[in-house]
Structures are given as structure tokens and as C-alpha cells.
Amino acid sequence: MTNDSLLEKISSPADIKNMSVKELERLAGEIRERIVETVAQNGGHLASNLGVVELTLAIHSVFNTPKDKIIWDVGHQCYAHKMITGRCAEINTIRTENGLSGFPKRNESPYDCFDTGHSSTSISAALGIACAEEMKNSGACTIAVIGDGALGGGLAYEGLNNAGRSGKKLIVILNDNKMSISHNVGSMARTLSRMRIRPGYIRAKTKVHRFEKVPLVGKPVTSGMKHVKDWMRDEFFGQKNNLFEQFGFTYYGPYDGHNIEQLQVALRAAKRKNSPVLIHVCTKKGKGYGYAESDPKSFHGVSAFDVETGEPRSAGEGYSNIFGRKMCEIAMTEKRLCAITAAMSIGTGLSAFSKKFKDRFYDVGIAEEHAITFASGLAANGMLPVFAVYSTFLQRGYDQILHDAALQNLHIVLCIDRAGIVGEDGETHQGIYDVAFLRTIPNVTVYSPSSFIELNAALEKALFSTEGVAAVRYPRGGELYMPEDYKFTGKPFSTYGNEDAKILIVTYGREFSQACFAKKKLAAHGIDVCILKINTILPLPIGTLMKAKQFENVYFFEEGVRTGGLGEYFGFCLYQTGFKGKFHLTALNGFVPQAKTKSALHKAGLDSKMIEIKITNDVSIGGKKDAIKKKTGSDGV
């Protein structure tokens, strides 16, 4: 940025209130440049943020935040908002440890009035906030910005239904970029497509709104022109009342989401209304960065990349890729196999499947609950459905897994990607709860592979050797260290190391690699440990308890939550067998903040170094106690 940079002069939304449209357009360019630079360095959500820059500026130039409240949905569209609200100097820290979050956070700024990480929550939250503002008689406006496919989620319609019925002062801005992560699907997408009309209508409607402000004659004339506006709507929409008007909203739009002047006119008109208004704006995802404009799917959420070439700085095989290839391989011979995604075909590795087996691929949009019940319907009629979903998003489908799949003992397969700590996306996206909530549901089998070979084997088992609900959970990224002398047997559990040792480490999934590293380091200290690796984690194999019972000290390390997790259950069951030794559990307590996965594991005591330290310290303390007991005839307490 140069000395005459507008962006460097912005410390709050007040600084853009008196800017001309030309200045705001120039500022938009500077913001885009900074977003591209930052995401190229830190990774993050690129295309979605580039698409809402003008919309962000228009909102902040018209409304008086933080008194007026903005809820961003999906929250990953908030980068420009953060830069305008006093956080520009820190934007280079976004998604880093102790830095700015990639999502709105109430504890980060008064301009972030509601935390949003998952989609489709904004309208419900905004209605609650609007009702509270009315009770406080504050006169504040509440604005929900919903886009990136979030209108495909069922909660959004529950919010629309109640907000429209309420008659409260509420503004919903539909950021229609034709996309979620992948292209939008379903009837709503087709409805919005029909409502995106040619620029002539937008210009005409903008002029009508402007004329309303002319003293004395403006409002009477425009009121008399209502039949003309109705004709224009019928001519271009082919319907008397659109969906949003039927919900009880006054509908404005569609508008060019990159035309600041048009947006300001619409926002000011909505601000004057004392009832629910929906403003439909059309934006281009990836706007201003060629690679993101031409391929918004790939540039939705990215790792660090080269700005000049658009190429990622590091690339390699990951569990998602291996899963996708195995699905294609199985589908060649298994004609019942169907793949389902909730707007995540690229992220879950199903892109190739979607092209090779179009008639058996279903993208349901951001609708995880629907995906699970839809899969249950397929299974009830003889198909073999696989729903590939990130762990954090599977949380939304708990009732459907319980009620629609497990209760009927229907055979569906959940392929749970991003299981465990995911790093920079932070609290809302950590995949650390799935084991705990799946453990409460009968008729569920869960496999937790630790390598690519094990993933392929687990998928085969889940599909062809398991009844009821089967799940395969695997982490983000690629394989970690696996000792050369460890051989995968395909059995529910296996041991690695000397079974006559006094210390046993129990774990599963990616954490097995950390345990193996620690075992190697502990051996250098003269401490011999054995590792019990659980491959089928639910239901818990009874043999694991019998194996663990023979050790004096059992350490369970789990990359999941402590309360309700597998480790807690394992410890309970172990003592039920009459185990006389000591059980030590290390798992995650509370929400896990954003940080690189390596750092998060270390802080949680789950990396190899912390495993080594814990066991070494315990052995050292135990040795001292034994020495005291031998010398004094007591335990020294």
C-alpha cells in the first residue's frame, strides 16, 4: 500500500461515511488486493470474500454499526468487514494462532455481534437480535447477510418463516453468487436463477428508488407507479408474488452486488421500512482475482498459494484423495454404490466420482440433515449410500442418524473427513465430537484408520462387512509416521511392541503415529511401552479390555473430547473388569482455538513430545516413591 492508500486511513466504518462512490470503488480495489495477499500467505476463504467487498462497503456506509447489527452467513465472508471495522492492521494474522479468526467472533470486536461458522443460522439469530432491540427500544437495525449457498439449509427457511410472520424490523440480504462451495443445486437455485434479470430492470428500479426522495412529488408519483413496478416484476419474474413475499418480506431486487451506488439506494430504502425486507443482490464469487473468478470452486477455501500462478505452495496426497479413488474403484463393480455430498464434492474427494458416475452422485447442497435421511431412503430401497461429510458438519445430523438410520438398522456409510483437530479454522470446525456423539447411538460401527492402506480396508469393511450405520473417520491432510515393523492385520485392534511391558499406550487414528514416535523416544530413556491400537473403535472390542488389564499403567491418548469420548468409556469398562492398575487419560477439554494442528496437539498434550514427557515424569515420580517406600517401609505420603 502507498502513502495515498485509502485503506490505511480506515480505523472504523465512520471513516467511509462521507466517501464518494468513486472513492469507495477505489477502496474496494485496495481491500481485494490485501485479501489476496493475506490468503495467499495464510490460507483461508478467498473467492467468497472477494465477492462481497462492495456489498460490505455499502452496508457500512449506510448503517451505523456497531449499534446496527450485521450477522454474516456463512461467516467466512467477513474479511472485508473485519478490515473496515478497525482490524486492518491485524488482517495478516487471520487464521493464525492468537490472531484474528477467519469467522466473526463476539469476543474479538463489538462489530461482530454473533459467532457464525456453520451455515444457515443468520436469519434466526437476526430475528432474535431484532426482537431484543425492539424490547430495548433502541431503534437499531438488524441485518442478516446470507449467501454462499446458505439459503439451501433448512434452518434458513425456519428463520424466514418466523421472521416474515413476526413483522419485525429486519433486513435480510441475499448474496446470490450462484454458488455454495460447489455450484448451487435444487429448486431454490433455479428460483433465484429466474430472478436474476437483465441490467435494464435493475437500472429502472434504481431510478424509481431515487425518485422517491424528490421533495413533495417523489413519493406520490412513485406510489402511483406501483402498478408499473408490478408489471415489471410480472414481466421479468413471471409471477405475481415471489417466494420471499409469500414468507412476509418486502422484496427488493435483484441488484448488481458490485454497484455500490445501487446497493446504497436499496439499503437506504430498506432502512426506512419497519417490517421485514429482503434485498436480493447478485455477486461474482472470486471477483477481482482472475484465477478465483474462473474457478471459484477450487478457490473457495485454499491453503497458502502463489499469487502470480494461483498454484498451492504445497500439495500432496491426502486422505480425501485416497477415499475418492477407492470410491471410483468400488463403483466400477458395485452398481448399488451411491455417493452423497453436502456441497463439498471437491473437499471430500468426490470430484472424479461425480464425473464418472453422474447417475449415482448426489450433491444435496448445504443440507446435512437431508443428506442423511436421503441416504436412509436409498438404503431402505436396496442401494448402498455413502455420505462423505466433514466431522464438524456431521454434528447437524445427529437426530437423523439416530432416528432415520440407526433406529431402522439401515445400512448407510458415513465417511467422516477432517476428523480430529483441523487447525486454522478454529473452534467451529474442529472434528473432535463425532466419536462422543456416535458412541451414544445403537447400531453404529466406527472405523478409525491410521494410514491410506487402512482407509481403503476400512471403507471395504464399512460397505460389505457391516450392518446398520457404518462410519469411517479420517483426518485432514496426509499420512504421518508409521513404523516399518508395524503390520496392519485388518483386525478390530492390534498391538505394537513388547506385550510384557508394564506400560500400555492405547489410542486410535492419527494419534497412533504420535504414540509410535513417543515409543521410540521412551526406549532411548530405557522405558519400554506397548501400544494398543484400536481400529474398530465402536463398538469397543472386548478383547482390548482383556489385553489392557494385564498392564500396570494404561495411558489413553485421544484426539477427541474427554467427556463422552472413547477414552472415558474405555477407562470405565477397564475398571469394570477388575483392573488393579492406574488409568491415565489425555484428551481434549473444551473448545480448541485456531492454531496449526501441530501446535494444537502439543498444547493438548497429544503430540509425541508431550506423550514422552508425561510417561517419563510418571515413571520418574513412581521410581522415587518406590525408593522411599523401600527405605522407610511406607509410601512417603
Give tens-digit pLDDT for 522-538.
999 999 999 999 999 99
Q: Give the pLDDT score at 536.
A: 98
Exposure string over 184-207, b if 16+ CB within 10 A, otherwise e: bbeebbeebeebebeeebbeebbe
Cell numbers at residue 195, please? Answer: 430472478
Alpha helices in 466-579 (DSSP H): 511-524, 542-548, 566-576
For the stretch 425-435, pLDDT in tens is 999 999 999 99
Choose, from 169, 396, 473, 519, the residue flagged as catalytic.
396
At the fourth CATH level, the homologous superfamily of domain 7-302 is: Thiamin diphosphate (ThDP)-binding fold, Pyr/PP domains (3.40.50.970)
Catalytic residue list contains 418: no
Residue carrying the nine cell digits 421500512: 273
Print burial letters for 525-545: b (CB count within 10 Å at least 16), e (below 16): eebebbbbbbbbbbebbeebb
Report the topology of domain 319-473: Rossmann fold (3.40.50)
Q: How far apart are CA 428 and CA 406, in angstroms?
A: 26
Mean pLDDT of 284-294: 94
> Which residue in this structure is represented by grid cell 456497531?
66
CATH 3.40.50.920 maps onto the chain at 500-629
State the CATH class of domain 500-629. alpha beta
> 469 pLDDT exceeds 60?
yes
Catalytic residue among 368, 369, 511, 568: 368
Q: Is 325 marked active-site?
A: no
Query: What DSSP string runs through 183-204?
Result: B--SHHHHHHHHH---HHHHHH
pLDDT grade for 298, boundaries at 50, 70 and 90? confident
281 contacts: CB under 8 Å, gap ≥ 6: 55, 173, 174, 175, 176, 253, 254, 255, 256, 257, 263, 266
pLDDT at 204 > cutoff 80: no
Instruction: Single out the residue of 348, 350, 428, 354 nearest to residue 396, CA to CA.
Output: 428
What is the torsion angle, in degrees rounded to the nearest 10, for the CA atoms of residue 22, residue 27, residue 32 and residue 35?
-170
Using a pLDDT cut of 90, give the percent of the chain over it: 83
Pairing state between β 536-538 and 444-447: antiparallel
Nearest to 47 by CA among 429, 463, 346, 493: 346
**The predicted structure's pLDDT at residue 205:** 55
Report the pLDDT value the prediction gives residue 6, as an integer from 0 to 100.
96
**Which cell goes with 69?**
447489527
d(CA 489, CA 291): 45
- 294, amino acid identity: S
pLDDT of 458 > 70? The answer is: yes
Q: How far apart are CA 610 and CA 608, in angstroms?
A: 6
Catalytic residue among 285, 439, 461, 533: 285
Write out the three cell numbers for 402. Answer: 439416530
**Least confident span in 155-164, 312-321, 427-436:** 312-321
Is residue 90 annotated as part of the catalytic site, yes or no?
no
Q: What is the pLDDT of residue 180?
A: 43
Contact 112, 40 (CB under 8 A): no
pLDDT digit string, tens, across residues 250-269: 999 999 999 999 999 999 99
pLDDT 10s digits, 52-65: 999 999 999 999 99
SS3 502: coil
> Is 185's pLDDT higher than 60?
no
249 DSSP assignment: P
Q: What share of the chain is helix, strand, coil (3-state, %, to 5)?
A: 45, 15, 40
pLDDT band at 221 (very low <50, low <70, confident <90, very high): low
Q: Where in the chain is the domain with CATH 3.40.50.970?
A: 7-302, 319-473
